[in-house]
Structure 1
């Protein structure tokens, strides 16, 4: 498995996140892959998806 350097990306929190500490996630845009992480654990692991797979997931939950 190849490692992806995410040290330079800008993370964007879900618009559904709130100050009450709901179940939040963050994504980073502008890459050929879409990294996703738990916003409550920013130093934790990130899942990385191909952009087309992430787009299909988002379209499926709309």
Structure 2
């Protein structure tokens, strides 16, 4: 499956980013992948990983 162009994706800020606009992360659903980027610098390169790897990442971060 082709990964959609991240520049055309609907990015949303993490609910865990906090209200002070400090360390903010945005994610976008890209078919069977997830895009991750820094909300303060959306033009910078983003990380694109599979949904399974994203779930694994979240599991490790919650520990």
Q: TM-score range by the shorter chain?
A: 0.7 to 0.9
User: How many residues were matched structurally?
Assistant: 60
Pair 46,10 (structure 1): closer, same or farther in 2 beyond 3 Å:
same
Match of 2:20? 20
Q: Which structure shows the higher helix fraction?
A: 2
Deviation at 1:7, TM superposition (A): 2.0
Unaligned stretches of 5+ in structure 1? Answer: none
Cα distance in 2 for residues equivalent to 1:61 and 1:37: 16
Cα distance in 1 for residues equivalent to 2:7 and 2:61: 29
Deviation at 1:57, TM superposition (A): 1.1
State the superposition RMSD in angstroms. 1.9
What is the DSSP-based 3-state SS (H/G/I as helix, E as strand, rest coil) of the residue aligned with 2:56? helix
Match of 2:5? 5
TM-score, normalising length: structure 1: 0.78
Query: 4+ runs of 1 displaced by more than 4 Å?
Result: none
